[in-house]
């Protein structure tokens, strides 16, 4: 796990070094004006969509499970919406779930040196009773985890 973290962190360092090597002269002002390597990014995914996080590292929104009480229905519980993801890399794949109100799941999870945080969802409200299933979208932040 730490090897993956080091590889992801090193990717930003390699880009910074490559940029510096393109110039024969570098001043302190040039160095100060360069942006720091990115350690996080935000994504919006639809069900079935795959995003590349790094070379050979992908994240797929595998499934959306919406058990929230539909508008116009009589329910004994409010329900919840959860998002099932698959993180794949050269070593294989791992699954995890993000949800706000689901027992046994949370808004944040860490896998393979990356922390995934649920930011939001569309639609935010449960659909009407007889409405077709909406085109769900989930927003999440992916951050390189700091070693402890």
Instruction: Examine residue 23 and state whether it is found in any structural domain, yes or no.
Output: no
Instruction: Examine residue 119 and state whether it is found in any structural domain, yes or no.
Output: yes
Would the pLDDT of 142 be above 60?
yes
CB burial readout 41-80, b (16+ within 10 A) else e:
eebebebeeeeebeeebebbbbebebebebeeeeeeeebe
Summarize the confidence of residues 61-86 as an average pLDDT.
86
Instruction: Examine residue 77 and state whether it is found in any structural domain, yes or no.
Output: yes
Q: Are 109 and 124 spatial neighbours (Cβ–Cβ below 8 Å)?
A: no
Query: So what's the pLDDT on residue 21?
Result: 40
The predicted-structure confidence for 105-114, as pLDDT tens digits, reads as follows 889 999 988 9
Q: Are 16 and 10 spatial neighbours (Cβ–Cβ below 8 Å)?
A: no
Query: Which CATH number characterizes residue 102's domain?
Result: 2.60.98
Q: Provide the whole-model pTM.
A: 0.69
Q: Domain range holding 43?
A: 39-144
What's the rounded Cα separation, in Å, for the pair 88 and 97? 15
Quote the tokens at residue 115.
Answer: 């922390």
Quote the mean pLDDT of the chain.
76
Tally of domains within the chain: 1
The predicted-structure confidence for 8-50, as pLDDT tens digits, reads as follows 443 433 333 333 344 444 455 554 555 555 688 999 999 999 9
Query: So what's the pLDDT on residue 101?
Result: 77
Pairing of strands 81-89, 92-99: antiparallel
Q: Are 88 and 58 spatial neighbours (Cβ–Cβ below 8 Å)?
A: yes
Q: How confident is the model at residue 68 (pLDDT cuts 50, 70, 90)?
A: confident
């Amino acid at each position: 796990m730490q090897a993956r973290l080091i590889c992801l962190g090193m990717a930003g360092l390699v880009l910074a070094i490559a940029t510096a090597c393109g110039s024969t002269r570098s001043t302190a002002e040039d160095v100060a004006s360069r942006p720091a390597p990115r350690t996080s990014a935000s994504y919006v995914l639809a069900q079935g969509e795959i995003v590349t996080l790094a070379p050979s590292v992908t994240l797929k929104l595998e499934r959306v499970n919406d058990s929230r009480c539909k508008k116009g229905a009589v329910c004994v519980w409010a329900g919840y919406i959860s998002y099932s993801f698959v993180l794949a890399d050269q070593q294989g794949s791992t699954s995890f779930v993000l949800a706000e109100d689901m027992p046994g799941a949370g808004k944040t999870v860490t896998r393979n040196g990356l922390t995934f945080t649920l930011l939001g969802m569309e639609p935010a409200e449960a659909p009407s009773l007889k409405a077709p299933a909406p085109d769900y979208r989930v927003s999440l932040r992916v951050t390189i985890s700091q070693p402890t």
